[in-house]
A and B are shown apart, each in its own frame.
Chain A
Amino acid sequence: MARPEAKLKELKPAELKHEVGARSDLVVTINRRSERRLIAYGEEFLYEKLPVGTRVIYPPPPLEELPDPDQAIRYALLHPENADPLFAQLNPNMRVTIAIDDISLPLPQMRAPDIRERVLNQMLQTLADYGVDDVHIIIATALHRRMTEAEIRRVVGERAFKQFWPDRLYNFDGENRAEITMLGKTDHGEEVWLSKRAAESDLLLYVNINLVPMDGGHKSVAVGLAPYQSLRHHHNPATLRDSHSYMDPKHSGLHRSANRMGAIVNDNLNVFTVESAVNTRMYGPMMDFLHKNEDRFSGWDRTRTDAFRWTMRNLSNELRRSVLHGYRAPYGMTGVWAGDTDAVHDKALAKVFQQYAVPVKGQSDILIVGVPFICPYNVNSIMNPILVQCTGMGYLFNMYRGKPLVRPGGTMIICHPLRDEFHPEHHPSYIEFFHRCLAETTDSVRLEKEFEREFAHNPTYTHMYRYGHAYHGVHPFYMWYWGEPARQHVGRVIAAGCEQPEVAARLGWDSADTLDEAIAMATSDLGRSASITYLHLPPLVIADVE
């Protein structure tokens, strides 16, 4: 049998709808002799026997990375898609703004040099060569927390940092009235607000990293540089319920809305997009057992697994968190494209799907997922219960194209200790949302109607967002809405390994001490013949469900 890597090479970007079976060895069925499986469990890993017949879906192995990323970036800037080369668009008197993705991408943070640093260095050199001095760099945080000075320095690199920080390199502030402007309304009545600096620039350059297919495209500018006034039009229960899935932009209400807004942006601004894609090389040689099928574990892999689990179990919470968030992923860049937003995004999407997509036959009754220590909203922070909900029901449930991995009315088992633990400086409004709003209702529509505006305009939360490092007051609502499609779809959610059942109850979930108990609870409802799928993470995988 050919190795999966060999098969991957045969897949060209255009071949998005691949044959079932092309990656069949990435879908494994558990039998009596099968090994235990590693399951992400917050800051630790479970190592559990799964029931016979369980289908395990593995992420595809990493695509080969570009041998010379800098050269690839240079080529992309010189040969853009449906646009003039960057240098040809420049003149010395123009005003240029460069916007870049914030710390939520990629996850975990990548080893230096970051792709953003590489692209920025070349862009800045080109701008300097053509005498363009009026340049600002904006971190497109939208309503995310402001990045710290050290985080920015790491992402943009020394050259850009020394030259631009802090006057011409800064975080976007969606609550600074003087810094945002309205560009217009879409035919759906969606108000398009944007960073004023970006809107008043002769050229807006956007530097993106596509970790998953929901990233990039019009979501970069129209979302990343937009305030609450714009975001509320698509970050709401109605739009998110119409998204099947977030990872399939063609069938996502969220992306349709962002595209409509993006069209208005592109009508008003000269936008030059640079998108890049990375492979699934999330862990380096010492940790690459996390990428492997456990049935193929060598003795060395088992030793490393045991040692890793022992270490994680025995570290203090603070130290463990610090170690995990301090880890830098050796992602390789698999492609980079520049030019017109739509043309660039199509190419990037093709590469991303080429990396992640695994064909899977049919849905199952039970879906098991493990929520890891990190999601886009807790980098260098705490994975609180709202974020566990967002990661499990928002991101991991949506890791599909076609149909969800679990059938309608099925059960989702989410492995996480689920502690009542929040970061008081990063997630202040989450605390009130969890203890006050969710105590009233878990219904997204009611939450939106009764509480959203109050949080969105709360002066203390606004202050913490603008001047501290807090997510915007409305952000926990968005995280909650993010799980809306899953809430509409599944019949039951069970938190496996839950240490605080009251936390699970607050989220509207059942809880179980162990994964075995959770499976027993699920099968007691659905019958002993209930089919089970385990989505094996990390790294990431997107199931093409037929």
Chain B
Amino acid sequence: MSVLPSKTSRGARGKSRAGMAFYDLDGTLCALNLVHSTLFILANLGEWSSRVGHLLSFAARTPRLYFAERKDRRLLNEVLFESYQGISADRLLALGEEYCERVLLKHLYPRAVEVLDANRGAGLEPVLVTGAPDFIANPLARHLGVNHVAANRLLMSRGRATGRIAPPVMAAEEKAAWCVEFAAEHNLSLAACWGYADSYYDLPFLAALGHPIAVNPDRKLRAAARGRQWPILNFDHSRDTYSGATPDGARALEISGETIDGAS
């Protein structure tokens, strides 16, 4: 887990917060998933022999990935992250940056970013809580101006990935537990926090927050959201692709001197 410290959070510690907004990444803010980012990184390793080896190894893991996905999101993460075994840490960092620049930013839902910015304008500081590896989540967070990130972190040994995830694994209940812990550290009431996620495996994460929003939900999450009366939000690529963070999210909704936080 990696939580980037932020100037904002340190500065804001003394005053009461309106709440925070917790965002899942894959399927929520962007249309991609973990398998895609893993394949990108494996396919872009420096030496062709290493590429082939890792891709073959990944292919061999496909049946395990399939069953893991059906059974448990945590298990899926563990099996998927095994693919990174042996890759050097600096290479992962470089590829993470590249993946973010070349792929991820182009696949962000423009309106998801609008909502994130507008929420920030309304006083809901964003927190990225994702099962993606930190070397992908961190560059994205920097680009979006998100100061708090909880992402999966690979255990390293002598500068190379072991293929194992440092606990806690950011999936299902552990995501929720992290949010509870984070809220306690930051003197936040979870009842005032908003959560956005797309998968049924995120149910515990969403349930921990006062304002859960099912975003582009899968079939099971949609049913759960209906049963629990959670709003359902749909993002798509109906507008031009995301071209950069809005400097002031509130501006998008500002009318006649009113701002979205209600201050005249």
Contacts and interface: CB of A to CB of B under 8 A. Distances in A.
B230 A424 contact: yes
A425 B232 contact: yes
Contact of B122 (A424, A428, A457, A464): A457
A457 B261 contact: yes
Given A454-B262, A463-B111, A463-B118, A177 B231 contact: no
Given A424-B229, A424-B232, A431-B229, A463 B258 contact: no
Nearest to A422: B229
A177 B230 CA distance: 28
A463 B254 contact: no
B115 to A, nearest CB: 5
Given A424-B231, A453-B262, A459 B255 contact: no
B194 A468 contact: no
B194 A460 contact: yes
A470 B115 CA distance: 15
A259 interface: no
Q: Which of A191, A227, A460, A467 has the most CB of B within 10 A?
A: A460
Interface in A435-459: 435, 453-454, 456-459
B119 interface: yes
Contacts of A457: 122, 253, 258-262
B197 interface: no
Nearest to B227: A424
Interface string A185-197: 0000001000000
A288 B62 CA distance: 62
Given A453-B262, A454-B262, A467-B111, A460 B255 contact: no
A316 to B, nearest CB: 14
Interface string B64-99: 000000000000000000000000000000000000
A281 to B, nearest CB: 36
Interface string B99-126: 0000000000001001100110110100
B219 to A, nearest CB: 14
A459 B229 contact: no
Interface of A is mostly: helix
Nearest to A421: B229
Interface in B206-264: 211, 213-214, 225-226, 229-234, 238, 249, 252-256, 258-262
A402 B116 CA distance: 51
B233 A463 contact: yes
Given A428-B231, A463-B115, A229 B262 contact: no
Contact of A431 (B231, B256, B261): B231
Contacts of B254: 177
Interface residues of A, number: 30
A388 to B, nearest CB: 16
Contacts of A227: 255
A307 interface: no
A22 interface: no
A446 B51 CA distance: 64
B253 A460 contact: no
A468 B118 CA distance: 17
A182 interface: yes
Contact of A459 (B115, B214, B256, B258): B115
Nearest to B259: A457
B33 to A, nearest CB: 23
A462 B118 contact: yes
Q: Which of A227, A424, A458, A459 has the most CB of B within 10 A?
A: A459
A458 B118 CA distance: 8
Given A432-B211, A457-B261, A459-B122, A182 B256 contact: yes
Q: Which of A175, A428, A454, A463 has the most CB of B within 10 A?
A: A463
A180 interface: yes
Interface in A132-191: 175, 177, 180, 182, 191
Given A175-B253, A180-B255, A424-B226, A468 B233 contact: yes
Given A453-B262, A463-B111, A468 B234 contact: yes
A185 to B, nearest CB: 12
Contacts of B211: 432, 460
A425 B225 CA distance: 10
Given A424-B231, A431-B229, A460-B119, A229 B256 contact: yes
Interface in A203-240: 227, 229
A241 to B, nearest CB: 24
A462 B259 CA distance: 13
A432 B211 CA distance: 8
Contacts of B213: 460
A470 B262 CA distance: 21
Nearest to B226: A424
B192 to A, nearest CB: 10
A284 B261 CA distance: 50
A425 B145 CA distance: 29
A186 to B, nearest CB: 16
A459 B262 contact: no
Contacts of B122: 457-459
B156 to A, nearest CB: 38
B8 to A, nearest CB: 18
Contacts of A420: 229
A36 to B, nearest CB: 36
Nearest to A467: B111
Contact of A229 (B238, B253, B255, B259): B255
A359 to B, nearest CB: 44
Contacts of B231: 424-425, 428-429, 431, 460-461, 464, 470
B27 to A, nearest CB: 17
Q: Which of A182, A425, A432 has the most CB of B within 10 A?
A: A425
Given A229-B256, A435-B229, A460-B211, 17 more contacts: A177-B252, A177-B253, A177-B255, A180-B255, A182-B256, A227-B255, A424-B231, A424-B232, A425-B231, A425-B234, A428-B231, A428-B232, A456-B262, A457-B262, A463-B111, A463-B114, A467-B111
12 contacts: A177-B254, A182-B256, A229-B255, A229-B258, A424-B214, A424-B229, A428-B233, A435-B229, A454-B262, A459-B124, A462-B253, A468-B233
The 9 nearest A-B residue pairs measured at CB: A428-B231, A459-B118, A453-B262, A457-B260, A424-B232, A431-B229, A459-B119, A425-B232, A463-B115
